[in-house]
Structure 1
Amino acid sequence: MSEVSGFQYSLAIIAVAMIPSFGVMAQPLSLSELQRLSQPVNAALMQRYESNPAAMLFRDSVSLSSFAISGEYDRQDKPVMEQLGDGSDLLGVSAGSYTRLGAERVVWGNASFVTGTYRSVRWTDYIDYNRVAPYVLGDEAGGDLSTRSYRFSGGYACGFSRWTVGVHAAYRAEIAYRNRDPRVKTVVSDIDIALGGGYTVNDHSVIGLNAGVNIYNQNCDLDFYNPLNEINTYTLTGMGTYYRRFMGNANKNSGYSSFGYNIGFQWLPVSGQGFAATIGYTGYRMEQQLRNYNNLTLGYTGNDIIDLGISYRLQFGGGIMIQPTIDGNMFRRKGTENIFGSSAGSSYDRIGSSSPYRFESSHFGLSFPVRFEKGNSSMTLTPDIAYESEKESYADPLRRLGASHVISGFDADFSAVSGKSWLWNLSAGVSYAKADPKEEILTDLEPDTPLGQCVLSNYSMLKADRTAFNVSAGISRPVMNFIVSLRVAYRLTDYIGEGLRHGAAVTLAAEF
């Protein structure tokens, strides 16, 4: 697909996503409504409704649609993880709509197209590394990956009596490629389907259950234009280990397939006030397949994810609101490698398996946002503290790495409507993460080799103390039946003693 046709295709998808919003054009969005929707506490609460398509009926009383063009810039003095590169340059166009069709019906849709470059990606010939690791094909040379990504989704919810039902579907397609040896062409398809139900307990609360499935596929073609190159491709198995039997350039086509499922429970307020709680579980098995070896499954991972969130909103006289919030997630990955005996051509007999690889991570945070409102102005102050942990291990040879961080932070957000024609927004935040490295065991790792250096470099970034600072500014103004907004943001992270990471984003949007 050419760049021109790809862009035309993305515009067609975005036009479809905007269809639900056409019925609300007669009632333009006001600046005060946009100000309320963009406040941090409201944006965070609305995300909880999005976990269940049935709960979307109660997400908000206002219809909102948008069209946006955005650019993102990311640079790292030293890669936080070499498999993810040392930065990116991305340009995107997107549209979204949440439209109320009445008191008991709501429809929504989103679509986006993103193109750009992931810089200096090494030791993986795939994208979505955090999803498919550790069983990847990779090489030392690496290089920039060009990408084009299409995403669209939509859903519908309706209520009858005290019951609510909803359905949601999403699709993502992405292609990434490299124009130098090793020349990679990777294609991803990712489908989600979810169903949900809800029951209104009383005038203030609704409970809900949701369930969904995910189907994921990634296919990677590898080619070398220079037949005399000395670039070796490794079948990596985690923490610097690799399957020597399949090392080299004989396998030039491989990929992943997975089937996943998720379930969740919610207790949510009908009006935004009061108690909110969500918990969800996601599980999936990701298989790596070597196409040139008769679709041999070299390894697979079993993955378990638990997410939870609890908050309670209290409104006081004088325009003061508090919303103490607890958020957490836990992730566990178990890697299994198949063992093969004799071969007949490109077919191999599987004679056993072992599960030497483990990865675990967790994050728990407590925040206490306080919002002050007076007239057309709003100020939200949010102190927070969090604990995060990451552990990775391999059984033979024994390797074990890990680190935890205690993170404290403070964010401030200010918005104001002036002259009934302008909406101003300023926000800033700072955080500090203190590291506690775990015992380091790297049996038989060769630190002078490029692969050994990759393991050590990634670990040095993981166990570093870090400080982060972010600032953003936005301005919005009504133009005809639209509100045109310009937002800019900048983030700086200092991995103390290792390097800096800079990130910036610019978004121009029309909302209605």
Structure 2
Amino acid sequence: MMRKELNIVFLVIFVPAFLSSVWAEKKDTKKEGTPVLQRITENSSVYTSFFSLPYNNPVMKYRMYDYTLNEVSVGGDYRNESLPIVVQMGDGFRYGFVDVNSFINKRKSSMWGKASYRNGIQKNVKWNETSDYLLLYPYVMGDTLGGDFKSERYYFGGGYTAESGRFIWGVDASYSATLGYRQVDPRPRNVTGELDFTLGAALTEVGYYRVGLSVNAFKYKQKNDIKFYNEQGNVTLYHFTGMGMDYYRFRGEKKETYYKGHRFGGSLNLLPETKSGFTVNVSFDNFRFEKIISSLNELPMAKVDEYTWKAEVGYKQKNDNRFWGMKTNVSNNHRKGTENLFGDPANDIYPLIASAQQYSSKQAEYTLSGFYESGASANFGWAVCPNVGFHQVSVRYIYPMRTLDNDRLNSSAMVRIWKQIRRALLRVDGQVRYSASLNSQLQLSDIVDKKTLTPLYCNYRFLSTDYIFLQLALRSDIAINRRCALYVTAYWQRGWYTDKVYTDGISAVIGVAF
């Protein structure tokens, strides 16, 4: 029943969104005679996308791209790991998807939209039966058996921003829903929902800059239930609390849980009106969620309080058909986990007697990036983008005391070359990424149950080692006429870790741009 309802919701939103984007594109008069290959080239340039943080504010998307461009595509993603890098997320996946993306640039306004459907399998997931692991860790439910995890995800969202004198206002909203399940024991059935809303305002012509402010609200929920049909016995279910620990009192039979959470945040932005010049952007948000065991009369087992702030400072310049820029990004994240303690139940109600903050995870990242892009001729261009950064991770569990620390030096370089030959546009992106572990330490005390430490040891093995990734992406656009083009993209990735562990990833997409 839930799958049928999600399909109905998706079709109700998807079809009108797609038709309205086509209608709006036809009504648009801004640069309507520009050939589609030129619109694709300029909207996807490194110069346009180099700054990232300001565009979380919808008013900064006003004239973000010079041209209206819509894309409809279908494709597939595949990834395989010889050993799971994060054991709770499995050792690979295969997905098929359909995407619709639209950006419409009008004279006094801009609007955008996205709708997508994804269906596939996450392979060999162990020690985790909860969807959205990276959002909800460490308070997930898991077991030693696991297996392939099937999922369907629906997403739709969009935004609008308009200018009125020196004032710009904008709004962006999205909703996504996921259905995850397995048809053999253990049989999780997870239903998630995410609602995201951002409101922004900006003042233009402050010197040569636009000054913006945004506020954001996010709501999350997940129903996470597990069933067993095997009459000969079941594996033990764990309610994990981090660093190889679990809530021992509720092991085994408590198979029905749900999560509810919300996030509030905001940003301040300074962006050049001409796209060339300095930018300064700062964002902050607070995310909180609670894990509740519904099979224990809605028992609130644990909660998370997380604070994240980010900053981006940069400069970019356009000189004729040559572009260059530099920026630095800083981010800091602190996640605190609190466990609730309960007395003996009375009438199936567990009285809350105390709370203790047991888990803490801190992450900090500092990155310096640059780019140089050349499009000196009408049908040829290239770009290079180097990047270097430092990443720190510090995880603590208070009692029994457990600590994990890791410092990494990350670096990457991307090279892009594109060439237009008559009605065809060819683009090649190549990238190499290298990450070195500078310092890693894992300290454990009072080990009672070695079995629950298995995922911690597996993940730490790859957190503490060096790795290198090679990536290659190809895209070919063939213009049907001045307004429409067919395109094909292909992506390949190969990663190497120590001990001959490797990862492979490929994807292929076919679509139409207009």
TM bracket, shorter-chain basis: over 0.9
Contact 2:195/2:220 (CA < 8 Å) preserved in 1?
A: yes
Q: Give the letter aligned to residue 38 of structure 2.
A: S
SS at the partner of 2:61?
helix
> Alignment partner for residue 413 of structure 1, among 413, 416, 435?
416
Aligned counterpart, 2:212: 208
Q: How does 1:148-167 map onto structure 2 within 5 Å?
A: 148-167=152-171
Deviations 1:377-397, CA, capped at 9 Å, x for gaps: 111011221111222110111
Query: In the aligned structure 1, how far is the partner of 2:229 from the partner of 2:13?
Result: 36
Deviations 1:239-290, CA, capped at 9 Å, x for gaps: 11111111112x2210100121010011112222111222111111110000
Tell me, yes or no, if structure 1 residue 227 matches structure 2 residue 231: yes
Aligned counterpart, 1:94: 99
Tell me, yes or no, if structure 1 residue 75 matches structure 2 residue 80: yes
Q: Give the letter aligned to residue 368 of structure 1.
A: G
Aligned counterpart, 2:39: 33
SS at the partner of 1:135?
coil
Contact 1:200/1:207 (CA < 8 Å) preserved in 2?
A: yes
Tell me, yes or no, if structure 1 residue 267 matches structure 2 residue 270: yes
Give, in angstroms, the shift of residue 12 of structure 1. Answer: 4.7
Q: Give the letter aligned to residue 423 of structure 1.
A: L
Query: In the aligned structure 1, how far is the partner of 2:142 from the partner of 2:500?
Result: 24
Query: In the aligned structure 1, how far is the partner of 2:388 from the partner of 2:202?
Result: 33
Moved more, 288-297 or 1-10: 1-10
Aligned counterpart, 2:298: 295
SS at the partner of 1:134?
coil
Q: How does 1:285-434 map onto structure 2 within 5 Å?
A: 285-317=288-320, 319-375=321-377, 376-419=379-422, 421-434=423-436
> Alignment partner for residue 279 of structure 1, among 274, 277, 282?
282
Aligned counterpart, 1:145: 149
Aligned counterpart, 1:244: 248
Query: In the aligned structure 1, how far is the partner of 2:4 from the partner of 2:37?
Result: 36
Query: In the aligned structure 1, how far is the partner of 2:129 from the partner of 2:185?
Result: 11
Contact 2:238/2:251 (CA < 8 Å) preserved in 1?
A: yes
Q: Give the letter aligned to residue 16 of structure 1.
A: P
SS at the partner of 2:233?
coil
TM-score, structure 1 normalization: 0.95
Give, in angstroms, the shift of residue 62 of structure 1. Answer: 1.2
Aligned counterpart, 2:23: 22
Tell me, yes or no, if structure 1 residue 193 matches structure 2 residue 194: no
SS at the partner of 2:351?
strand
Query: In the aligned structure 2, how far is the partner of 1:261 from the partner of 1:332?
Result: 15
With over 3 angstroms needed to count, the CA separation of the structure-2 counterparts of 1:335 and 1:3, relative to structure 1, is closer
Deviations 1:71-127, CA, capped at 9 Å, x for gaps: 100111111111111111011101121113x32222221111100011111112111
* RMSD over aligned Cα atoms: 1.9
Tell me, yes or no, if structure 1 residue 464 matches structure 2 residue 462: no
Query: In the aligned structure 2, how far is the partner of 1:350 from the partner of 1:130?
Result: 28
Gaps of 5+ in 2: none
Matched residue count: 506
Deviations 1:443-473, CA, capped at 9 Å, x for gaps: 13368x4422221111011111111111111
Gaps of 5+ in 1: none
Contact 2:244/2:454 (CA < 8 Å) preserved in 1?
A: no
With over 3 angstroms needed to count, the CA separation of the structure-2 counterparts of 1:229 and 1:176, relative to structure 1, is same
Contact 1:203/1:270 (CA < 8 Å) preserved in 2?
A: no
SS at the partner of 2:131?
coil
Q: Give the letter aligned to residue 353 of structure 2.
A: I
SS at the partner of 2:184?
coil
Q: Once the two structures are aligned, what percentage of the paired residues are identical?
A: 23
Give, in angstroms, the shift of residue 195 of structure 1. Answer: 0.7
With over 3 angstroms needed to count, the CA separation of the structure-2 counterparts of 1:269 and 1:278, relative to structure 1, is same
Query: In the aligned structure 2, how far is the partner of 1:49 from the partner of 1:15?
Result: 30
Contact 1:446/1:452 (CA < 8 Å) preserved in 2?
A: no
Tell me, yes or no, if structure 1 residue 452 matches structure 2 residue 453: yes
